[in-house]
A and B are shown apart, each in its own frame.
Chain A
Amino acid sequence: EAGVAQSPRYKIIEKRQSVAFWCNPISGHATLYWYQQILGQGPKLLIQFQNNGVVDDSQLPKDRFSAERLKGVDSTLKIQPAKLEDSAVYLCASSSGGLSLRYNEQFFGPGTRLTVL
């Protein structure tokens, strides 16, 4: 089966510009995650979707970050305006389990490396 797809793979922007990332999860996976991975750190969950509903966005900087998952499939993560500290790899992951299936591992995409100058 096809894995989690993300685009673009790399993006360089200047601070205060806007940027959007796209994720296509594995077909049939109900749960979708966006993570921010800063160099030298572990992935930090930004937002978790269950189908097209948000179940956790407690660590999403909502003044500048937004995400949506229309129709419960693809998802986009947007940063507007970007700051220098947003430079990181943005990982998308999906898993097949719903809220009642708590065991399933996550499948990760290759990530988008964002550099903010």
Chain B
Amino acid sequence: AQSVAQPEDQVNVAEGNPLTVKCTYSVSGNPYLFWYVQYPNRGLQFLLKYITGDNLVKGSYGFEAEFNKSQTSFHLKKPSALVSDSALYFCAVRAPNSGGYQKVTFGTGTKLQVIP
């Protein structure tokens, strides 16, 4: 069964500093990996995805993520954090299941707090 782990419940970072939100995954076969962000009282918004190709993926709002197959990780990064980046971040993996269609599994989320 596929799974996603976000080992940190919360990440605190000072405004202007680089940030990293960690994600590791476990699937059979090649994964499609996603990051979503959830602001208070709002639905999830897509940030970026890795399907194939360059391991460094760039997404919305200056975020990027690095796919590392050997470490089965897909960490979310940003060079300089903004207070407005404070939100809940979810990693998700999409992989074929035995039925032949793509099953999506979300991590438990990491709360990012950017301190002014």
Size range of the chain A interface in the assembly:
20 to 34
Picked from A43, A102, A105, A110, the residue with its CB within 8 Å of the CB of B106 is A43
Per the 8 Å Cβ criterion, residues 28-65 of B in contact with A are 32, 34, 36, 41-46, 49, 51
CB pair A41–B108 under 8 Å, yes or no, is: yes
Q: How far is the CA of A99 from the CA of B90 in the complex (A)?
A: 24
CB pair B46–A44 under 8 Å, yes or no, is: no
CB pair A105–B49 under 8 Å, yes or no, is: yes
Task: Report which A residues bind B (CB closer than 8 A).
Answer: 4, 33, 35, 40-45, 48, 50, 55-56, 91, 93, 99, 102-103, 105-111
Contacts A50-B101, A99-B100, A110-B43 aside, 14 further interface pairs with beta carbons under 8 A come to: A4-B43, A41-B109, A42-B4, A42-B106, A42-B107, A42-B108, A45-B104, A48-B101, A91-B43, A102-B96, A103-B51, A106-B44, A106-B104, A107-B46
